[in-house]
Amino acid sequence: MSIFSSRVSVLLVLFALSNVAFAEVNFEITAGAGRYGLDVDRKFAPQIEDDSTVANFSFGVYKTSSNDTSWGAVVEYSLPIGRDSDLPGNGQLIGFRPVNYLVRYSEEFSVEYYAGIGQFDWTKTANGYYFGFNVRYDIFGENAGVMTDFKYYQDLAFDSPEGDDIVDGFNSSLKFYYSF
């Protein structure tokens, strides 16, 4: 059974977070572009690299815990653009980050640390976890700005006829965000 067999459960978690003290909850959408640096290690076959350009989108819910910190949950989606057609699967990655900690260091500058679970579309669906951080700069007040996002995917795994295939690697992106 897949980690994401029911995407409805992800939406229910976001809905539940948004209903806890609604006055202190913010929603956020992001869009950007980045680059995969993924390695697929196979037991009985050569290693394959997926160094694709990707478009990234996300939706998050954050609850303010103090003036300078927030906790949240984020659903994100990465879609490869111009990916090598010889690579198997379509390279899409869906992630759910239930642990997001956002710290504001000044009026314009903040940093977010996070961890989550991901699903990568390869020859089969590879499931695993990832973690990362982003550095944000508010351009239009606290509601909108740009961020650089860095994440590492670890042990996105699936069984294949040749043995277990493990996907590991980085994704770095430049994104725009809007909070409301």
Average model confidence (pLDDT) across the chain: 86
| Residue 7: predicted pLDDT | 55
In a domain, 83, yes or no: yes
| Residue 9: predicted pLDDT | 56
In this structure, how many other beta carbons lie within 10 angstroms of the beta carbon of residue 76? 22
CATH number at residue 35: 2.40.160.20
Q: Report residue 103's pLDDT band, with 50, 70 and 90 as the boundaries.
A: very high
Number of structural domains found in the chain = 1
In a domain, 73, yes or no: yes
Q: Report residue 93's pLDDT band, with 50, 70 and 90 as the boundaries.
A: very high
Q: Report residue 122's pLDDT band, with 50, 70 and 90 as the boundaries.
A: confident
Domain that residue 106 falls in: 7-179
d(CA 143, CA 28): 9
DSSP structural state of residue 3: T
Whole-Å CA distances, 78 to 32, 35, 39, 164: 9, 10, 16, 24
d(CA 96, CA 48): 25
Task: Kindly report, residue by residue over 30-58, the tens digit of the pLDDT.
Answer: 999 999 999 988 777 778 898 999 999 99
Task: Kindly report, residue by residue over 131-162, the tens digit of the pLDDT.
Answer: 999 999 999 887 899 999 999 999 888 776 66
* Among 95, 110, 125, 87, residue whose Cα is nearest residue 7: 95
Q: Report residue 66's pLDDT band, with 50, 70 and 90 as the boundaries.
A: confident
In a domain, 13, yes or no: yes
In a domain, 1, yes or no: no
In a domain, 78, yes or no: yes
In a domain, 24, yes or no: yes
| Contact partners, residue 107, CB within 8 Å, separation at least 6 | 138, 142
In a domain, 59, yes or no: yes
* Among 91, 88, 84, 92, residue whose Cα is nearest residue 160: 88
* Mean pLDDT, range 76-102, rounded to an integer: 92
pTM comes to 0.83
Q: Looking at mean pLDDT, say which of 74-83, 122-131, 163-172 comes out highest.
A: 74-83
In a domain, 63, yes or no: yes
Instruction: Flag whether pLDDT at 10 surpasses 90.
Output: no
Of 38-47, 66-75, 119-128, least confident by mean pLDDT is: 38-47
Q: What is the largest CA-CA distance in the chain?
A: 55
